[in-house]
Structure 1
């Protein structure tokens, strides 16, 4: 349940909350702010000194789920006899991993759709990183998965990314091959006998507090492609510990996926807006990132 508070006179947000929520510990109020649970007139903010005006409505929501908590059900964006698209929350694995004991989206969705007399089988069409939220697609048979993948080069894959800094130029294309170092489990960018083609297009949407919201489209779908490419460019994704600086969550969201349905030949589009805690990253200021150069992922000799 959320707390709705009406502002009667100008004040700073933290001061206002401390006065209105007198039974709350200051650390609890700060935690709600930092995790994007506080909104002013419907817009999420994490700024402690946000200027409030008389007539504003402040809402303090419940604590967001942590990365280690698994939902019992997932939001289904689209479903037919052949494919199912879901909205995967950040912090949840797409599929099982032998090195991980945490629950994953594939297992949750199977249980969610199965009946007592009939177990549902699903095959992942695409995968998104555990700390990335957004559209995830499954097929109801191995044959359908292969049929969708046969036309994957025609699929449109659009993401939102929040990065450190302000890319110059404001839009462009990164056409740099990638190779996976399986020991370090990270991608390296640049020419190498083992590197594979990878193309990423980005466009600036808006900038705030030395962070930029980008719309990103990828022609290919290499592992960690967006994260590695943007870090190589000098603008790592916010909260990406592997290619940049650790944060409260990673600023990457799978916004939209368009595919050609193998049976009908019709275009299907699956889309889900980014959650509040994603956009809250735009209002945070990472002092460590500001003083730390981004990790370059160029190939080693």
Structure 2
């Protein structure tokens, strides 16, 4: 059973839900939002401040709105006794939470590798956003995960991003601290006592004047770092409803991850090209 609500005056989504869902605890409304149970005009959103217009239809369900089915198998880019790298498709969570009912990459991969006589245990090394595609890394033991993370400052993390507009200059560095806002589930850019350092390097690969393909390298790995930084610069990632505007998919892809193998000190590089629907965003 779902609640269908018609918007009669413009407002933010969370404000609208609070006014319409009389008797609902604010924490319950936020949980429904964060778990993908709220849709606007048929499109699921988790953005608390999503701008509603007169005539919009907001639907609040008990379970997340399914927009695409989860894969039963994931592409494995690299595998040894200690480390497994996969190509995570856009729209799939990296890992689950106690509040999430949707399928996620960790569960799919664990099921994919397990045998009836032996269940596989995996620990996530890094995470990428649900709507970001690309390289995702897991360890087969907690000890290996901690060993890889101990050298994480030496890891090279390279992304592709398609942004609105054409950055000027064509390349540069964003050195702005980030602060998490748990209420709005977003990052704020700029100096603040609670902000943490964050450094993002970007370089233009090609542009059509309206949208631009960037290669992005991050020295730090803050939540939503690339999305928040590029939006702050004035060139939001295409399809990023939280920091820009909603679209069919988000123009962010984890292209390459280079780490140091803690067992032998050798470099390991995992890479996967962006899918066709990612590059299609450049010309839409």
Q: Give the TM-score of the pair, scaled to structure 2.
A: 0.76
Match of 1:126 in 2: 126
Asked if 1:81 corresponds to 2:81, the answer is yes
Q: Is the 8 A contact 1:260 1:268 kept in 2?
A: yes
Match of 1:138 in 2: 138
TM-superposed CA distance for 1:152, in Å, is 0.3
Asked if 1:239 corresponds to 2:239, the answer is yes
TM-superposed CA distance for 1:208, in Å, is 1.7
Tell me how far apart the structure 2 counterparts of residues 78 and 194 of structure 1 sit (CA, whole Å): 37
TM-superposed CA distance for 1:101, in Å, is 1.1
Q: What whole-Å deviation, never above 9, does each CA across 1:50-97 have from its counterpart, x for those lacking one?
A: xxxxxxxxxxxxxxxx85310000000000011000000000000002
TM-superposed CA distance for 1:264, in Å, is 1.5
Q: What whole-Å deviation, never above 9, does each CA across 1:223-254 have from its counterpart, x for those lacking one?
A: 00000000000000000000000000000000
Match of 2:206 in 1: 206
In the TM superposition, what are the counterparts of 1:84-95 in structure 2 within 5 Å? 84-95=84-95
Q: Is the 8 A contact 2:166 2:209 kept in 1?
A: no
Asked if 1:275 corresponds to 2:275, the answer is yes
Match of 1:72 in 2: 72
Task: Tell me which structure has the larger Cα radius of gyration.
Answer: 1
Q: Is the 8 A contact 1:67 1:90 kept in 2?
A: no
Q: Is the 8 A contact 1:258 1:270 kept in 2?
A: yes
Tell me how far apart the structure 2 counterparts of residues 101 and 68 of structure 1 sit (CA, whole Å): 14
Tell me how far apart the structure 1 counterparts of residues 248 and 283 of structure 2 sit (CA, whole Å): 13
Tell me how far apart the structure 2 counterparts of residues 121 and 99 of structure 1 sit (CA, whole Å): 21
Match of 1:192 in 2: 192
Q: Is the 8 A contact 1:159 1:255 kept in 2?
A: yes
TM-superposed CA distance for 1:209, in Å, is 5.2
Asked if 1:223 corresponds to 2:223, the answer is yes
TM-superposed CA distance for 1:256, in Å, is 0.2
Tell me how far apart the structure 1 counterparts of residues 90 and 202 of structure 2 sit (CA, whole Å): 22
Consecutive aligned runs of 4 or more in structure 1 exceeding 6 Å deviation: none
Q: Is the 8 A contact 1:92 1:130 kept in 2?
A: yes
Tell me how far apart the structure 2 counterparts of residues 97 and 169 of structure 1 sit (CA, whole Å): 40
Match of 1:46 in 2: none
